[in-house]
DNA sequence: CTAACATGCAACCTTTTGGTTGCACATTGG
DNA sequence: CCAATGTGCAACCAAAAGGTTGCATGTTAG
């Protein structure tokens, strides 16, 4: 009902794009994969396997945090990060919407040809 | 079988990231949405509704084409673009994998606490 | 207390992105 | 034929991304 015809959900497109943009980096995908294992990890731990510096990883974590893919809580002298799958669901729905719309359009066109 | 333990599918992470990066732009998401309606559209048509120049749109289309999200065929003096949902499926699977791994990890941790 | 550890912050640098303008070239409608 | 239409290509630009180094600050183990 809030979806105006023909606009194809222009509302929030900027936000959805920012989620994909956050996912659109090899290093950040690797960070998310590590965090998806369930353990909360400090910046130092997340940096460990990487060839990048701690500060580079810190910047990537900030990008992930800004779109809500990750949360950081302070524990003593370290900050532990954990995954938040919320935005992932949103990304999945966006991908599904485009894919489904395409399938339905193809089906319509096909039925026109066949009749 | 080809998935080595512990690497979390490092193979192709660069490629997956490039797909998300292609999706991570408001203008490109809008282009994909238009193309998902099923009609093949020329560059001029795709530019029509936008505030950007034709060349800017052309560059965005090139990005989409490089990751296979879009295909362009020549018809006379114009080039018609159409969507290819293949990479969308791949993106969806990547998102699902991270999400699922997180859920399973949480379930494991929870069962440890409850026992 | 104090050395080692985990971060935070800022300045700086290079490469990539996202856009524009200008001009050349191919196609097509009359 | 030839003006209008649709692209392609290259040069150029400003801003954003991705990284690094250096230094300051908070915490904790002994």
Q: Do B26 and A14 touch (CB under 8 A)?
A: yes
More reliable by pLDDT, B49 or B102: B102
pLDDT confidence of residue A112: 74
pLDDT at A70: 98
Residue nearest to nucleotide C18 (CA to C1'): B56
Spell out which chain A residues touch chain B, with contact meaning CB-CB distance below 8 angstroms.
Answer: 8-10, 13-14, 16-26, 28-30, 32-39, 83, 85, 88-89, 91-92, 94-96, 98-99, 101-103, 105-106, 108-109
Q: Given an 8 Å threshold on Cβ–Cβ distance, is A10 in contact with B25?
A: no
More confident residue, B103 or B9: B103
CB-strand contact A55/D, under 7 Å: yes
Euclidean distance between CA atoms A55 and A27, whole angstroms: 13
Query: In the predicted model, what is the mean pLDDT of residues A100-107?
Result: 96
pLDDT tens figures, B85-99: 999 999 999 999 999
DSSP-assigned states of every residue in B5-72: TTS-S-TTHHHHHHHHHHHSSHHHHHHHHHHTTS--EEHHHHHHT-SS-HHHHHHHHHHHHHTTSEEE
Angle in degrees, 0-180, between the axes of helices A13-23 and B13-23, rounded to the nearest 10: 160
Q: Show the tokens assigned to B21.
A: 């990066």
Q: Is residue B50's pLDDT more than 80?
A: yes
CA atom of A9 to C1′ atom of D15, Å: 28
The pLDDT, as a whole number, for residue B5 is: 47
- Helical ranges in A3-53 per DSSP H: 13-23, 26-35, 43-48
pLDDT of residue A114: 62
């Amino acid at each position: 009902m809030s979806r105006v015809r023909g606009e194809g959900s222009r509302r929030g497109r900027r936000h959805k794009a920012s989620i994909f943009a956050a996912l659109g980096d090899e290093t950040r995908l690797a960070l998310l994969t590590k965090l998806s294992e369930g353990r909360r990890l400090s910046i130092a731990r997340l940096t460990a396997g990487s060839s990048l510096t701690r500060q580079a990883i810190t910047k990537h974590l900030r990008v992930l945090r800004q779109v809500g893919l990750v949360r950081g809580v302070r524990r003593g002298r370290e900050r532990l990060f954990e995954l938040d799958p919320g935005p992932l669901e949103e990304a999945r729905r966006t991908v599904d919407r485009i894919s489904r719309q395409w399938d339905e359009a193809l089906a319509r066109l096909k039925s026109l040809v066949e009749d």
